[in-house]
Amino acid sequence: MADEKEVEESSVQSADPYDLVVEGCRLPVNMSNSDEWPLAEILSRKTTDSGLSIYVHYIDYNKRLDEWVTPERLRLEGLQFPKKDVKTPVKERGLGLGLAVNSCNSSRASSPAPPELVNGNSTATTTSSSGTPLATLPQQMQPSAPVVKQKATVGRKRKLPFSDFEKGEENQDGSSQYSHSENQPRQTGSMVSTDDVLTRIKNIDLIELGKHRIKPWYFSPYPHELTSKQVIYLCEFCLKYSKSFTCLTRHKTKCSLRHPPGNEIYRKNTISFFEIDGRKNKAYSQNLCLLAKLFLDHKTLYYDTDPFLFYVMTEYDSKGFHIVGYFSKEKESSEDYNVACILTLPPYQRKGYGKLLIEFSYVLSQFEGKTGSPEKPLSDLGLLSYRSYWSQTILETILKLPSPSDGERPQITISEICEATSIRKEDVISTLQHLNLINYYKGQYILTLSKETLDTQQKAMLKRTIRIDPKSLHWTPKDWSKRGKW
């Protein structure tokens, strides 16, 4: 009996402590290129010739930072075992509504915490856009300006309601117009939520696109046989994927494209935009979606591209038109969205191309005679980009107001801002609220433009060296509702 006990104790002592680190556990992990040890969730583990590797997601960090780590980067003293699964009541699963309730939202990366949501009075918001003066500016562009001359139901300072995008990424599950399978990503829709383990693990190490080698951020459903390769090679013109540089070279001898398929509808200097029909150019559109999924966490539109148009921005040189970024747009949108998905490829980020894509989408809306808005909720980077664009565009519109000859302050309504910018009313109001420019004072809304705001706006506009010139756009809007099945 004593011998058996000694053997038992020795086996426990010799057991690998990392065997306790299983899927669902949480513990501090040393983040790459950092001295920080944030709490991380274990998503997967594998054993290769080089030893044990563990895939982790850093809690409260964006999923693009998820990575494979070696055991020495784990702090076992802080190991937390997973809690037992609790069955979700049937009534909470959203059956019959196309909803999917995630059971592990606590570990998902989310957008930066939005400001406090306020359930404001919708009557005040609606009335303020009906033609009543909303914003006025001093004659010499001094701070402060009276706005809406309307009495409110409550005689104190009020906050305006935020638009739906302020609810954050966690609400993306509520896209009831699309079907959902719990075992695989949706093949319809554009930006929805998937939280299964398969799609939470990056499956591709590197892609080569033209002269760039890019490290993907997220999972993308490329063929399984390619995911074992160290690099996936993409044709920079048709976006077809190859498993080796030899295969890519062979493909290039056959590929005649030097620009995206479809119609070139805009060109100024070296920047061009091409309009691609998702039905007529299905192969290219699907390849574009696979590429985009590497950098868009919640995108699941891969195959059903027929209902969408794709607007691809390119840079031109002697070798051809090289893709910089793109946005997709529904041919018929019940919510009047002018963008479904939008992406600037990593090599071209922080160069002003993101705002150029956004600006182009609103120029198209102006040609259509509509106000538009991106599909919501937005991702974290998308929210930052759109807020920046909305802020600069709205302030630019206000600052261009001519001074009346009678010496009064110039006035403008929300409706006039929407008409001038094609930005939807809810986005205009939420942007003014986010900038803390709009206040309620003595029965009316007023806009306060401080010197700091004006200085920030001036510096921001100086940085925008490339802008969309509507005169260079050669495009006629189509009424897709009269075109049957597109």
Query: Which residues are marked as active site?
Result: 375
Would residue 173 be called left, alpha or beta, if left means φ above 0 and alpha means ψ between -120 and 50 degrees?
alpha
Number of H helices, E strands in the chain: 11, 20
Tell me, rounded to whole angstroms, the distance of Cα 428 from its chain centroid.
19
Q: With CA atoms as reference, report the closest residue to 342 among 298, 280, 402, 400.
A: 298
Radius of gyration of the chain (CA): 26
Question: In sequence order, which residues have a C-beta less than 8 Å from that of residue 252 and are 6 or more positions away?
Answer: 235
> What's 23-74 look like in SS3?
CCCEEEECCCCCCCCCEEEEEEEEEECCEEEEEEEECCCCHHHCEEECHHHE
Report the b/e string of 161-196 with b at 16+ CB within 10 A: bbbebbbbbeebbbbeeeebeeeebbebbbbbbbbe
Pinpoint the alpha helices (H) of 400-450: 414-421, 425-434
**What six digits make up the tokens of 93?**
């699963």
H helix or E strand, kind and range, residue 463: helix 451-463
Residue 8 CB neighbours (<10 A): 10
Q: Strand order of the sheet with strand 206-209?
A: 212-214, 206-209, 231-234, 241-242
